[in-house]
Amino acid sequence: MRASDRPHDPAAAKAPEPQQSPPLIHRTDPRSRGLVISGALTLGLGAAAVFLPAPYVVESPGPTFNTVGTVKAENGEETPLIEIEGATTYPTGGELDLTTVYVAGGPDTAMSFLEAVGAWVNPEDAVLPEEFVYPRGTTGEQVDEQNAAAMSSSQEAAVAAALRELDIAFTEELAVADLVADSPAAGVLQAGDTLVRIGNTNIDGIETLRGELQDNGGSPVEVTYRRDGVERTASITPVQGENGSYQLGIFLATSYQFPFDISIALNNVGGPSAGMMFALGIVDRLTPGELTGGKHFAGTGTIDSAGTVGAIGGIPQKMVGATDSGAEFFLAPADNCGEVVGNIPEGLDVVKVATLDEARSAVEALAAGADPAGLAQCTAN
């Protein structure tokens, strides 16, 4: 109850007021009063800053999940993380852990300055400006949707990469999702077109398209595409990207038809960085014997249907998470080596890989007792 809400006492109102001595007058130096006010404001602002939202994102080590193990379903029962129906599968052992990162802060979930400072002094955490992680104006709902879409796409690509690694046939179609700004395909291709051939070569996957564009060296190419059920052919001159590869200037959407069903049960984890470890788990389930030799592996990396392993974020935190879970070996994307060097936790052996085939070969070699130092390593430039 506020002071002004206290009940009024009639008896007290009638009581005579006691005699009081004249008040003492204290003269204060105006400069002293200014210093007091200034100090109070500084303390107040400092205290407020501790609780105000800070435009930072903190990445910290997250849990790991064994892709050849089980996870707890919503009904509380244990279920295989990778479920395969319609194909012969084999018992597995050891661990092929995918690694994760906890992300605090960001759109709709800003952290306080005090929390950011706490992360700064923790060597296992990374503090990044929010705009380095999320484009300006991104909402929390958009982040969740993008992460879910990336996870779904990475799972499909992992299945395709694993089946291609095992020479199991499947159908892959590439369609135009959108065009980049100033695309050489502008006015020719449009969203929804399915790419059929480049020159005389049927497009059966992203690797075929990339290879034909590179082999053509930037000269105009004949692209056959299907729109509304009708095939058409047009000449497009590729442009060279920053990485030196030739491109049509389009964003691709991929659809697959697999010969059997493969489902991945992993909830509350988003993003594309588990692709390589999903693919290794699928390879292990579809081949006789234990790929791991009973040993504990962890790793990270995106993957495309051709088996190319790509860079990810938060690899120092993922290596810490792998160590915390007891992993002996860690598979790191070659493109992340700059972040690997100098951040490897004690007791963890790291091998760099650029393709699914390299990752599989590394696991097989280490399972057989190979010296990790004899395999591909991340080194300082």
d(Cα 359, Cα 161) in Å, to the nearest integer?
12
> Domains of the chain: which residue ranges?
60-129+138-166+259-374, 171-257
Q: Residue 9 CA to chain centroid, in angstroms?
A: 67
Contact 353, 334 (CB under 8 A): yes
Please work out, in degrees rounded to the nearest 5, the angle formed at the alpha carbon of residue 109 by the alpha carbons of 104 and 111: 60
Lowest mean pLDDT of 94-98, 124-128, 369-373, name the range. 124-128
CATH assignment of 171-257, given 3.30.413.10, 3.40.50.1220, 2.30.42.10, 3.30.56.10?
Answer: 2.30.42.10
Q: What is the pLDDT at residue 54?
A: 61
Phi and psi torsions of 26, nearest 5°: -105, 125
Query: Helices 275-286 and 140-165 sit at what angle, rounded to 10 degrees?
Result: 40
**40 exposed, middle or buried (CB, 10 Å; 0-12, 13-18, 19+)?**
exposed
d(Cα 9, Cα 260) in Å, to the nearest integer?
85
Q: What is the pLDDT at residue 14?
A: 35
Phi and psi torsions of 65, nearest 5°: -135, 130
**Residue 27's pLDDT band (boundaries 50, 70, 90)?**
very low
Q: What is the pLDDT at residue 19?
A: 38
Mean pLDDT of 253-281: 92
Lowest mean pLDDT of 1-5, 126-130, 220-224, name the range. 1-5
Q: Is pTM, for the whole model, over 0.75? A: yes
H-helix or E-strand spanning residue 155 = helix 140-165
Per the prediction, the chain carries an average pLDDT of: 84
109-163 pLDDT, tens digit each? 777 777 777 767 777 787 777 777 777 777 778 877 887 888 888 999 999 999 9
Query: Above 70 in pLDDT, residue 38?
Result: no
CATH assignment of 60-129+138-166+259-374, given 3.30.230, 3.40.1350, 1.10.8, 3.10.20?
Answer: 3.30.230
User: Is 60-129+138-166+259-374's fold the same as 171-257's?
Assistant: no
Q: Determine what percent of the chain is predicted with pLDDT higher than 70.
A: 84
166-199 pLDDT, tens digit each? 999 999 999 999 999 899 999 999 999 999 999 9
Q: Three-class SS of residue 117?
A: helix
**Residue 18's pLDDT band (boundaries 50, 70, 90)?**
very low
d(Cα 347, Cα 342) in Å, to the nearest integer?
14
Q: What is the pLDDT at residue 249?
A: 94
